[in-house]
């Protein structure tokens, strides 16, 4: 492993991508500690240290602590993900919007509309956050009339900056930028969770035996997540002889690899983001919004049930978008392929059946893992920050994003080795 890392940093193009990724992630971590103008950071810090709740810990979970700091990046990339969810759902309802997304030029318009929608969501959530700040005694150092527009402008700009950084990481760095920003936020919470854990043991507020059991569960769940992320179902495909130009290609046998969890961490991120909206708006102290936020408290049964159903629903929804059985069957037929034992007109039905059988247990597993933080907190009476660290949502995101990033790095290294081999071969031929 050490040799692989050393070799990776010796490759100029890969080293450049890795350094760009780390540099942009560091920028977001610095921004997480820059408070909104007009906020008294010391007062806010003391308030959350005394009155931290499961809802604030949940909102901190995805922002890497930026929410409790009332940072300019307190909204993070969640408004952008929420808007993406809305547009993907609209594509199922509005055929013209789906047709527009399939066109290369139209997809750019969809991205533009998504950014406009993100600004609207940012304004609503930052307004809720600014109203919530007024409920903290002594938190504001400027008049309310000045603070609200400044907070809306700061949070909206900060969220759009996060989206821009995520896109630049995807374009010039390694991995999916938006997912890596969430990954970095979760990792940033680990030192604080460890401090709370050690302090709790020293103060006898945390049972060491319970903590040991939770740590064992942590490693067991990590192993399960890794095993589930790498599991695949291989569908055999046979291609007949065909003529392309002047060349004849013989029959080939290959397979389509269907992952047990084709959607990865996307359903968990989508479900968490969607449920984050009412929790954020509940901070406005508006009666019915507060009631909705209390109803969707992360430690209560209604939230757990809705969260589970959303994960399962988004798993099926995202799989149908990313792995369209109709398109796959069409491509197999167009290339002269067939699946042994399946008639060509039944390919769509067969692929859909296989996908549904794979996605259902995979999505249930995802939901079960995602519920572990709340179960750990309720059963072992651990602080919310510690439960979030050892919990399923963080593990799924951490393991899933890490595996995807490592696969991309591995592919880049293999391609680099291939180029180097070709160049060395050319140099040898020139010497001869």
Give the lowest-confidence range in 58-62, 112-116, 246-250. Answer: 246-250
Q: Which two tokens stand for residue 202?
A: 């020293």
Exposed / middle / buried, residue 135 (Cβ in 10 Å: 0-12, 13-18, 19+): exposed
pLDDT score at 24: 92
Distance from chain centroid for Cα 337: 35
pTM: 0.74
Q: Is the pLDDT of residue 377 over 70?
A: no
Mean pLDDT of the chain: 78
Contact (CB, 8 A) for 185 and 31:
no
Alpha-carbon gap, residue 42 to 30, rounded angstroms: 17
Q: Show Cβ contacts of residue 362 under 8 Å, excluding neighbours closer than 6 positions.
A: 228, 259, 260, 261, 262, 315
In the predicted structure, residue 147 carries a pLDDT above the cut 80: yes
- Per mean pLDDT, which of 6-15, 153-162, 281-290 is the most reliable? 153-162
**Entry field: residues in the chain:** 432
pLDDT per residue as tens digits for the range 165-224 = 999 999 898 888 888 888 888 888 888 778 878 888 888 777 788 778 777 777 777 777
Tokens representing 400?
Answer: 């899933």
Q: Which pLDDT score is estimated for 241?
A: 62
Q: Quick one: pLDDT at residue 421?
A: 34
Tell me which H or E stretch contains 39: none
Task: Output the furthest CA–CA distance in the chain (Å, rounded).
Answer: 84
Q: How many CB atoms sit inside 10 A of residue 154's CB? A: 24
Give the residue among 222, 153, 253 at the shortest CA–CA distance from 390.
222
Phi first, then psi: give them for residue 119, nearest 5 degrees: -60, -40
Q: Do 107 and 101 meet the contact criterion of CB atoms below 8 Å apart?
A: yes
pLDDT digits (tens, 9 = 90+) for 61-117: 777 778 888 889 888 888 888 888 788 778 777 777 777 777 777 778 888 888 999
For every residue of 302-346, DSSP letters joined together read HHHHHHHHHHHHHHHHHHHHHS-HHHHHHHHHHTTEE-TTS-GGG
User: Would the pLDDT of 423 be above 50?
Assistant: no
Residues 243-265 have a mean pLDDT of 69
Q: Are 228 and 261 in contact (CB under 8 A)?
A: yes
The burial of 115, by beta-carbon neighbours within 10 Å (0-12 exposed, 13-18 middle, 19 or more buried), is given as middle
pLDDT value of residue 424: 40
pLDDT of residue 427: 42
Phi, psi of 66 (to 5 degrees): -70, -25
What pLDDT is recorded for position 330?
82
Least confident of 81-90, 113-122, 125-134, 372-381: 372-381
Per-range mean pLDDT, top range of 25-39, 120-134, 401-415: 25-39
Whether the pLDDT of residue 243 is over 70: the answer is no
**DSSP characters for 188-207?**
HTHHHHHHHHHHHHHTT-S-
pLDDT tens profile 7-21: 777 778 888 888 999
Average pLDDT over residues 366-383: 73
Q: Which residues contact 360 (CB under 8 A, 6 or more apart)?
A: 312
What single string gives the DSSP state of each residue in 366-426?
A: HHHHHHHHHHHHHHH---HHHHHHHSHHHHHHHHHHHHHHHHHHHHHHHHHHHHHHHHHHH
Pinpoint the alpha helices (H) of 189-300: 190-202, 208-230, 266-281, 287-295
363 vs 375: CA distance, rounded Å? 18
Task: Note the Cα 5 to chain centre separation in Å.
Answer: 25
Token couple for 364: 């249930």
Check whether 157 has a pLDDT greater than 90. Answer: yes
* C-alpha closest to that of 268 among 312, 316, 223, 227: 312
Model confidence at 242: pLDDT above 90:
no
- Is the four-CA dihedral 256, 258, 264, 268 of positive or negative sign? positive
């Amino acid at each position: 492993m050490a040799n692989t890392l050393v070799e990776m940093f010796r490759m100029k193009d890969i080293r450049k991508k890795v350094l760009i990724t780390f540099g942009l992630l560091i920028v977001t971590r610095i921004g997480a500690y820059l408070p909104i103008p007009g906020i008294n950071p010391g007062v806010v810090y003391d308030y959350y240290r005394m009155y931290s709740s499961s809802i604030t810990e949940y909102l901190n979970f995805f922002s890497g602590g930026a929410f409790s700091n009332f940072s300019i990046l307190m909204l993070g990339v969640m408004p952008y993900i929420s808007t993406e969810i809305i547009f993907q759902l609209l594509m199922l309802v509005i055929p013209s919007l789906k047709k527009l997304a399939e066109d290369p030029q139209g997809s750019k318009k969809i991205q533009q509309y998504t950014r406009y929608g993100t600004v609207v969501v940012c304004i609503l959530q930052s307004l809720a956050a600014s109203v919530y700040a007024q409920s903290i005694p002594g938190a504001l150092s400027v008049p309310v009339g000045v603070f609200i527009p400044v907070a809306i402008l700061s949070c909206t700009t900060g969220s759009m900056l996060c989206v821009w950084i995520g896109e630049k990481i995807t374009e010039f760095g390694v991995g999916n930028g938006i997912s890596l920003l969430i990954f970095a936020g979760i990792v940033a919470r680990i030192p604080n969770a460890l401090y709370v854990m050690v302090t709790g043991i020293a103060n006898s507020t945390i049972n060491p035996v319970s903590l040991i059991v939770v740590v064992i569960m942590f490693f067991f769940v990590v192993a399960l997540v890794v095993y589930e992320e790498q599991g695949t179902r291989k569908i055999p495909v046979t291609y007949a002889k065909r003529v392309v130009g002047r060349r004849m290609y013989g029959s080939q046998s290959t397979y389509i690899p269907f992952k047990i969890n084709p959607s990865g961490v996307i359903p968990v991120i989508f479900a968490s983001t969607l449920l984050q909206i009412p929790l954020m708006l509940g901070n406005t102290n508006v009666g019915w919004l507060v009631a909705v936020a209390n109803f969707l408290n992360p430690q209560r049964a209604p939230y757990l049930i809705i969260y589970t159903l959303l994960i399962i629903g988004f798993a099926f929804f995202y799989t149908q978008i990313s792995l369209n059985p109709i398109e796959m069957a069409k491509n197999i037929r167009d290339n002269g392929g067939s699946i042994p034992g399946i008639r060509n007109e039944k390919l769509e039905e067969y692929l859909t059946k296989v996908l549904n059988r794979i996605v259902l247990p995979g999505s249930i597993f995802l939901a079960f893992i995602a519920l572990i933080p709340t179960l750990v907190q309720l059963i072992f009476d651990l602080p919310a920050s510690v439960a979030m660290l050892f919990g399923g949502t963080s593990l799924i995101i951490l393991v899933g994003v890490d595996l995807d990033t490592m696969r991309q790095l591995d592919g880049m290294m293999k391609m680099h080795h291939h180029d180097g081999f070709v160049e060395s071969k050319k140099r040898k031929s020139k010497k001869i």
